[in-house]
Amino acid sequence: MRLSARAYRLESSTIREILKLTERPGIISFAGGLPAPQTFPIDRLRAVCDHILATDAAAALQYSRTEGYSPLREWIADYRSTVDRRVEAEQVLVTSGSQQALDLIGKVLVDTTRSVLVERPCYLGALQALAAYEAPFTCVPSDEFGPVPAAVDAAAARHEVSCLYVVPNFQNPTGRSIPLRRREELLACAHRNGLIVIEDDPYGELSYGGSQLPSMVSLDPSCVVHVGSFSKILAPGLRVGYLIAPPTLLPRLVQAKQAADLHTPTLTQRMVYETVQQNFMTRHLQRTRSYYAEQCRSMCSALRRYLPTVTDWVAPQGGMFIWVRLAQGTDASKLLTAAIAENVAFVPGAPFYFDHPETNTLRLSFATVPAALIEEGVSRLGGILNDARMTSRSGPTLASIATA
């Protein structure tokens, strides 16, 4: 059976494969990217859903507009507007999760002829979505503030380019945020090089302190497609996300969505809309942020206690992840093998690099593990690293303890 050329670019996410390994009972898993079900507003979702099906079921179960449920589009536009910059409902397309937003952007903007610039390391789901449209990727050297503008310019000088993909807030996998100054520089750089910036922001609202930097789309709506999601702030199983695009681009994205799935389920869109009414998100986000902040504190404290010298990491100010750098020469995938033997799991950093992986990195998620188990799991990781005498940067590799 002959497949399309693009089919050979499709891959199962390495991380999903790792997750399958780590789902066995009894394992302390820092591997998943799942949000904590404790943060799902279950009672409210149940109440609004029942209300919708009691009062307006025929409409809630019928086909609906590709663009999305109009009241939800308006709410998203208001929610994403700032004092300085109004987002119009006509710029909003409701999508089947933010993954679909990336897929539609790929369909409309990406082809084989021009490079997509990506961060290093980069969120894997974006690489998957865009690879399906046969994008050549170009990795942009990135520092602790995000992609380096001069490196973007240099890449654009070497290649035909279409888009720059960034996760500006509490990035998956590194947890880092792009400061305001760097956002402005990157936007200027996008203008210079005719780039569309794909601003993928699933975690911005999980800022522990509650403050958020201006989004790139609010700084310059003309060259940014903003991608948002209710997955981390309400519930991912509803698969409701959205994108905000320049008015000239939105109709094409709507056509792409019509071809892709006609529309996002009417019922789940209405559930989201009814849930966020009466200023619910303000209170709900306070609770959700507190929850993740406390989880993060537990993990940082365990890391300080059990991995004091072998690692390099920065406490994130929001989101769900801590990025850990092991001593040079230590292979995180071998550490994973040893860790799984002790019923602890995480995701090695290598798959997040499109090229030249830094194999001594790993991602820890603290979202779903109870505090006592966070401590226990991190202590086991510390034990493995100490046993292997990995406490100095000149120590042996982990090969000796990698059992398979």
Residues in contact with a copy of itself, counted by CB under 8 A, come to a total of 77
Break the chain down into helix, strand, coil percent, rounded to 5: 45, 15, 40
Pick from 60, 300, 336, 347 the residue near a copy of itself by CB under 8 A.
Answer: 60
Of 184-192, 265-273, 276-284, 341-349, the window that binds a copy of itself (rule: CB under 8 A) is 265-273
Distances in Å between the Cα of 113 and the Cα atoms of 40, 135, 141, 152, 161 are: 42, 8, 22, 18, 8
| Nearest distance in Å: CB 269, a copy of itself | 9
- Count of alpha carbons within 13 Å of 316, Cβ hemisphere only? 35
| Nearest distance in Å: CB 364, a copy of itself | 19
Q: Which residues 14-33 are close enough to bind a copy of itself by CB under 8 A?
A: 16
- Host H or E run for residue 273: helix 266-275
Of 61-69, 146-154, 300-308, 378-386, the window that binds a copy of itself (rule: CB under 8 A) is 61-69
Residue type, 323: W
Q: Which residues 301-340 are close enough to bind a copy of itself by CB under 8 A?
A: none
Pick from 18, 28, 31, 45 the residue near a copy of itself by CB under 8 A.
Answer: 45
265 binds a copy of itself (CB under 8 A): yes
273 binds a copy of itself (CB under 8 A): no
Q: Which residues 126-165 are close enough to bind a copy of itself by CB under 8 A?
A: 128-129, 131-133, 162
Closest residue by Cα to residue 296 from 315, 323, 324: 315
Q: Which two tokens stand for residue 361?
A: 């990195």
Choose between 10 and 188: whose C-beta lies nearer to a copy of itself.
Answer: 10
Choose between 63 and 355: whose C-beta lies nearer to a copy of itself.
Answer: 63
| Nearest distance in Å: CB 144, a copy of itself | 29
Q: Which two tokens stand for residue 31?
A: 């591997």
Per-residue mark of binding to a copy of itself, 79-118 (x: CB under 8 A):
-----------------xx-xx--x---xxxxx--x----
E strand spans, 129-194: 137-140, 142-143, 146-147, 161-166
Start-to-end CA span in the chain (Å) = 35
Q: Which residues 197-236 are close enough to bind a copy of itself by CB under 8 A?
A: 231, 235-236
Are 140 and 367 in contact by the 8 Å Cβ rule? The answer is no
Pick from 18, 22, 31, 64 the residue near a copy of itself by CB under 8 A.
Answer: 64
CA gap 227, 244 in Å, rounded = 7
